[in-house]
Amino acid sequence: MRTIFLIGFMGSGKSSVVHYLAERLDVCHKDTDEEIIKMHGPIASIFENYGEETFRRFETNVLKKMPVEDAVIATGGGIIEKEVNRSWLMEHGIVVHLHTTWGEINRRLVDDESRPLWQLHDKEQLFENRQSKYKNTADISIVTDGKSPEEIATEILRIIKMENMDKLHS
C-alpha cells in the first residue's frame, strides 16, 4: 500500500486522524512535526531562534525521509508552502486534505499558544492563502467540521475503497 499523507491547516485534526487511520489499515504512522521535534527541539524554539525558513528546510528534509509504503503520515500545516514538498507528496503517495473551515479552526485553536504561526495577527489571511495549495496537492478532500477523528478516518477509507484508488497500490 502506498503511504497516505494527511495535509491541512493547523488544527484540522491531522495528528489525531493519523492514529485511527493507521490502526484501521494496520500500518505505521508518523507525524512530520514530531520528527522535527525529536531532531531539533520544540517548534516554537526553532521559529524563535532560527526563523521560519530554517523550520521549512527541516520540514523538507524530514518529509523526504518518510516511508512511501505501508504508512500514514500527518504533515505540518505549512508543508505545502514549498513547491518541492507539494511535488514530493503527490509523487510518493495518496494526499488527503483535511479541510476545516476558518470558524472551526479558530474555535479549536483560540487559546493555543504553542503554535508560532497561530500568534500572527493575519492568521486568517494565512489560512486563505494556503487553501488553493491544499486543494491542488490533494487527491482527496474531506470536510472535518463537526466530525470525530474516527469518523474522518472512516470517511477516508470509504472514499479510497469507493474510488478504488489505483494510486494506493501503484
CATH code of the domain containing 17: 3.40.50.300
Q: Please give the average per-residue pLDDT across 118-144, as a whole number.
A: 89
Structural domain including 58 reads: 3-169
Helical pair 83-92 and 52-63, crossing angle rounded to 10 deg: 20
The pLDDT value given to residue 110: 67
Task: Name beta bridge partners: 72.
Answer: 4, 29
Strand, coil or helix: 7? strand
Is the confidence at residue 120, as pLDDT, over 90? Answer: no
Q: What is the pLDDT of residue 113?
A: 63
Side chain identity at 95, as an amino acid letter? V
For residue 161, what pLDDT is reported? Answer: 84
3-state DSSP call for residue 70? coil
Nearest-angstrom CA–CA distance, 166 and 170? 6
β-pairing, 93-99 vs 3-7, is: parallel
What does the pLDDT look like over 59-107, one tens digit per residue?
999 999 999 999 999 999 999 999 999 999 999 999 999 999 999 888 8
- Report which of residues 117 and 18 the model is more confident about: 18
As for how many domains the chain has, the answer is: 1
Residue with grid cell 463537526, as numbered in its chain: 146
pLDDT category at 17 given cuts 50, 70, 90 is very high
pLDDT at 119 over 80: no
CA torsion angle 105 107 111 116 (round to 10):
10
